[in-house]
Amino acid sequence: MNHSLNEHTLKAFDGDLITLRGLIAEIGGRAEKAVEGAMAALANNDHDLARQVVEGDKRIDALEEQIDRMVIQTIALRAPMADDLRELVAALKISGVVERIGDYAKNIAKRVLLIDADQQIDAARLLPAMADATRQLVDDAFTAFAKRDADLAVAVCAQDKTVDDFYNSIFRALIAHMIEYPEHVGAGTHLLFIAKNLERIGDHATNVAEMVYFAVMGQSMNERERGDDALAPGSD
């Protein structure tokens, strides 16, 4: 079936959907920026930037509420069917997921404010690469939403394994490091939780991708291969 959609006979409905897609793009963009900002703050020990990320999360929360209100209103007023209904349900779920991504980014930023910058921990040297992979996942998930691109959504889910693999290897390295240098346990634990947060952000990006797939294809994505996550204790 053709996935591109014509205009509605009722133009105001298209207006609602366009507004909603704009809001999803905005909240997704802000969440991605928050992840990026939190990791840059970590890399440069930039406390101002970390505080900006913490502060910026309020805007993400507000956007989530705005999206939820708009979805409910649109369902009530337009009685959507089929693709439209699925898109609205997906938008509702995605906004909840993105709000979580924002929370994880905020949590990372808060930890930046607490980490003792003098402690250089080589075991965490993979974190920036993990952060890049995670941010790319978030970016792709929202691109998939904007373009109604089911293939890209599938790719996001496949890529999540990379993030999980990063997490597992960072986890092991940090544990080994902390055993060897007990005086680094404070910073090491923060870095461990940061890695865990990134891993959860990756999971949420795949949740977004799964909703995109559902909205576009009308069925849920097949169970896909996962990296063995959840070996390490979670931060949430």
Q: Which residues bind another protein (CB under 8 A)?
A: 1-2, 5-10, 13, 79-86, 218-219
In the complex, minimum distance from the CB of residue 153 to another protein, in angstroms, rounded to a whole number: 16
Closer residue to another protein in complex, CB, 21/51: 21
Give the integer Cα–Cα distance in Å for 112 and 79. Answer: 46
Smallest separation (angstroms) from another protein to the CB of 17: 11
- Between CA 71 and CA 61 the distance in angstroms is 16
Q: Which residue, 10 or 176, has its beta carbon nearer to another protein? A: 10
Contact, 27 vs 101, CB < 8 A? no
Burial (CB count within 10 angstroms: exposed 0-12, middle 13-18, buried 19+), residue 91: buried
Nearer to another protein, 166 or 214 (CB): 214
State the nearest-atom distance from the C-beta of 72 to another protein, in Å.
17
Given the complex with another protein, which of 5 and 158 has the nearer CB atom?
A: 5
Q: How far is the CB of 15 from another protein (least distance, A)?
A: 13
Cβ at position 204, least distance to another protein in Å: 25
234 vs 35, 85, 183, 207, CA distance in Å? 18, 34, 22, 18
- Taking the least distance from each CB to another protein, the nearer of 36 and 84 is 84
Q: Supply the minimum distance, in Å, between the C-beta of residue 180 and another protein.
A: 55
Whichever of 2 and 120 has its CB closer to another protein, that residue is 2
CA-wise closest residue to 163 among 186, 140, 187, 190: 140
CB within 8 Å of 75: residues ≥ 6 apart: 85, 88
Radius of gyration (C-alpha) of the chain in whole angstroms? 19
Q: Token match 């900006």: residue?
A: 52
